[in-house]
Amino acid sequence: MDDASGPDRLPRGSRLTFSRRTLMAAGGVALGTPALGLAASTVPGSPAAAATGATKKITIYAESLGNNQYGYGLAPGQASIPGPLLEMYEGDTMEITLVNNTTQRLSIHAHGVDYDTASDGAPLNNSFNNPGETRTYIWRSHEMTAAAGRRFMPGSAGYWHYHDHAMGTDHGTAGVLRGLYGGLIVRRRGDILPDKTFTVVFNEMMINNRPTTNTPTFEANLGERVEWVAIGHGNLIHTFHLHAHRWADNRTGMLEGPNDPSIVTDNKDLNPGSSFGFQVIAGEFVGPGAWMYHCHVQQHSDTGMAGIFLVRNADGSMPPAASADIDRFRGHMSKMSTAHGAMDHTK
């Protein structure tokens, strides 16, 4: 990214801490300034209302990965599935120059953020890239704005996602199936930043379009603050289950206070077009080890929608039994693969 203001430019790798005082001040700025009232009183649809943040300009390259797979990348030859995790703060704008280096029509459509029809990413609005074409999409975002009755119209903060909306059909069905998707996080000022973020996509019977024998392993050290962005795609129901860790089913995964009524869960529906996110402290209360995450639809987990969240010791060393556990898991997955035939649905 071209710009140093985003959360992705803040120090990672070590646990981020904030004093309570700092966060309260930040919260006060976000909610109590004239800017907020101003936003609420301006004409709806005015881009000015969201103009207080930074503008990030990035270029994304859509490319074929062979094997009938496609990906988005931040540089030529670096396309991946999922595409790069994009992050912004409420109020920021992201200008995405999408370079279509494929022979297919495609686009980029975002959930959660603000865009004109020209940046919708939908063929309906003539918003797509023909083969070889470059096109700029602009995503804006905004903080909550005051409404009547002490209520607020919601801001843009959330665990969102982006995906193709034009390859194969006018809903991008081929593009999504083949890997054109990624995570998009809009943070509120004062949100706690994680040490690392994992993006996990349940897409038909695949996780991140990987074959059963090679589902993603997500690694962290004991005590690291780990953020998960979960995205659902395709046509099937899925439920995302994580062993030994749990989160509040709300915007951040944490409780906003002792009276926050949110349900705490470790198993959540992840159906097509949906996304959610949360943060956990790796291994907190349970220790290091090889912990499974999987779809809890029995047939789906049995046929390979399962992977490992490897929580290493605090110093990064391998927990004693974990290597054997992972071997056992991989042997099991491989056996299933043989029994059920090739599970790589991407072919």
Of the pair 72, 309, the CB lying nearest a second copy is at: 309
In whole angstroms, the minimum distance from the beta carbon of 58 to a second copy comes to 21
Which of 189, 202, 182 is CA-nearest to residue 303?
202
User: Of 5-13, 68-76, 97-105, 322-330, which segment contacts a second copy by CB under 8 A?
Assistant: 322-330
Eight-state DSSP code of residue 207: E
Question: Does residue 103 belong to the site contacting a second copy (CB under 8 A)?
Answer: no
Under a CB-based contact definition with an 8 Å cutoff, are residues 38 and 91 in contact? Answer: no
Structure tokens at 267: 């198993």
| Near a second copy by CB under 8 A: residue from 71, 182, 183, 289 | 289
User: Of 6-14, 72-80, 209-217, 273-281, which segment contacts a second copy by CB under 8 A?
Assistant: 273-281
User: Of 55-63, 98-106, 207-215, 253-261, which segment contacts a second copy by CB under 8 A?
Assistant: 253-261
Question: Does residue 43 belong to the site contacting a second copy (CB under 8 A)?
Answer: yes
Question: Does residue 264 belong to the site contacting a second copy (CB under 8 A)?
Answer: yes
Question: Does residue 157 belong to the site contacting a second copy (CB under 8 A)?
Answer: yes
Rounded-to-integer distance, Cα 280 and Cα 220, Å: 11
Rounded-to-integer distance, Cα 252 and Cα 254, Å: 5
Q: Cα 138 from chain centroid? A: 19
User: Looking only at residues 51 through 80 of this chain, which bind a second copy when binding is defined by CB under 8 A?
Assistant: none
Of the pair 13, 77, the CB lying nearest a second copy is at: 13
| Binding-residue pattern over the window 199 to 238 for a second copy, x denoting contact by CB under 8 A | -----------------------xx---------xxx-x-
Of the pair 77, 151, the CB lying nearest a second copy is at: 151
Which of 102, 142, 138, 99 is CA-nearest to residue 121?
138
Q: What angle do CA 75, 80, 83 make, to 5 degrees?
A: 85
Rounded-to-integer distance, Cα 102 and Cα 170, Å: 17
